[in-house]
Amino acid sequence: MQTKSIVEWFETCLGQYLLEREQKYFDKAVANVFGYNAVQVGFPQYDFLRTNRMPLKFCAAPEKGADVLAAPDFLPIETNSTDLVLMPHMLEFSSNPHQILREVQRVLMPEGNLIVSGFNPRSLWGIRGLFGSPREGGFPWRGNFIALPRLKDWLTLLDFEITEDRQCCYAPPFSQEKWLTRFHFMEEAGERLGRFSGGVYFLTAVKRVHGMRVIKPEWKEVRARKRAMSPIARKIKGTAATNEPPKAARIGTLPQGEK
């Protein structure tokens, strides 16, 4: 995957069409994800974490311009240390997407968030990738598009819980702006009805760890026990007494002379 070809493609009208919608989704999706560490894997030319407020945000990628030069399938990040991982279009351009997901599962801390975007093979974009001309074999058409149900299965096997999936880019992938404009009604209909197959999907998942249970301090029970142990003075027939039972009642016998 050559960076230059990707940058050139995103400068086209179709690339701008896609980039505008992806940036809009990521801006909204990461804004309210809290924690300490967030990492964007791939595409260092674009800051998809710009609206996130975590103190440490960086991009890990094998291309020049990344904050950390690293392959996505072997991240130099400590295990269980990251609160958010964002992966834009990394799986469909990797020879081993399963290893990338395993690596992401490793670096994410329990209850950490994963946001993935990918090209949908069950769409007009996927059809163009299958039947496009050889000269169109660059980005993104040479990628191995992964169907959304398959990706959900992979994540479920890695103990992720799917929390949201969305789609965008319902218009056909025309290379001319005038045709994209004419078919803009498909974009609006797809977003409103949710029945059309978008060219790009977004998937949000949370890493779950089986057997974990959040233990909260039982402050109410502690205070209740303390109150029960403290004697409270009461006035009975003109004399002060406590709420403790009589001695005879405590030892289970009656005073002598009583039956």
* Model pLDDT for residues 171-201, shown as the tens digit of each residue: 888 888 888 887 777 776 676 666 668 899 9
Instruction: Tell me, yes or no, whether 187 lies in a domain.
Output: yes
DSSP 139-205: TTTTS----HHHHHHHHHHTTEEEEEEEEE--S---SSHHHHHHTHHHHHHHHHH--S--SEEEEEE
pLDDT > 80? residue 94: yes
Coil, helix or strand at residue 38: strand
Phi and psi at residue 108, in whole multiples of 5°? Answer: -75, 140
The enclosing H or E element of 10 equals helix 3-10
Instruction: Tell me, yes or no, whether 33 lies in a domain.
Output: yes
pLDDT of residue 251: 47
pLDDT of residue 220: 60
**CATH code at position 30:** 3.40.50.150
Instruction: Tell me, yes or no, whether 192 lies in a domain.
Output: yes
pLDDT of residue 194: 61
pLDDT of residue 228: 60
- 13-31 and 3-10 helices, crossing angle to 10°: 90
pLDDT per residue over 153-165, tens digit each? 999 999 999 999 9
pLDDT per residue over 206-236, tens digit each? 999 876 565 656 656 656 566 666 555 555 5
pTM: 0.76
Name which of 197, 22, 201 is nearest 122 in CA terms: 197
pLDDT per residue over 25-75, tens digit each? 999 999 999 999 999 999 999 999 999 999 999 999 998 889 999 999 999
Please tell me the distance from the alpha carbon of residue 248 to that of residue 174, in angstroms, as a whole number: 94
Domain holding 13, by residue range, is 3-207
Instruction: Tell me, yes or no, whether 193 lies in a domain.
Output: yes
Min mean pLDDT across 9-13, 48-52, 111-115, 254-258 is at: 254-258
Instruction: Tell me, yes or no, whether 255 lies in a domain.
Output: no
Q: Are 27 and 50 spatial neighbours (Cβ–Cβ below 8 Å)?
A: yes
Instruction: Tell me, yes or no, whether 248 lies in a domain.
Output: no
pLDDT > 60? residue 259: no
What is the number of structural domains in the chain? 1
pLDDT per residue over 125-136, tens digit each? 888 877 654 455
Instruction: Tell me, yes or no, whether 81 lies in a domain.
Output: yes
Instruction: Tell me, yes or no, whether 20 lies in a domain.
Output: yes
Residue 199, token pair as written in the block:
């060219």
Min mean pLDDT across 14-18, 103-107, 221-225 is at: 221-225
pLDDT > 50? residue 2: no
Please tell me the distance from the alpha carbon of residue 255 to that of residue 258, in angstroms, as a whole number: 6
pLDDT of residue 192: 64
Q: Is 259 exposed, middle or buried (0-12, 13-18, 19+ CB in 10 A)?
A: exposed
Please tell me the distance from the alpha carbon of residue 155 to that of residue 240, in angstroms, as a whole number: 69
pLDDT > 90? residue 151: yes
Phi and psi at residue 93, in whole multiples of 5°? Answer: -115, 25
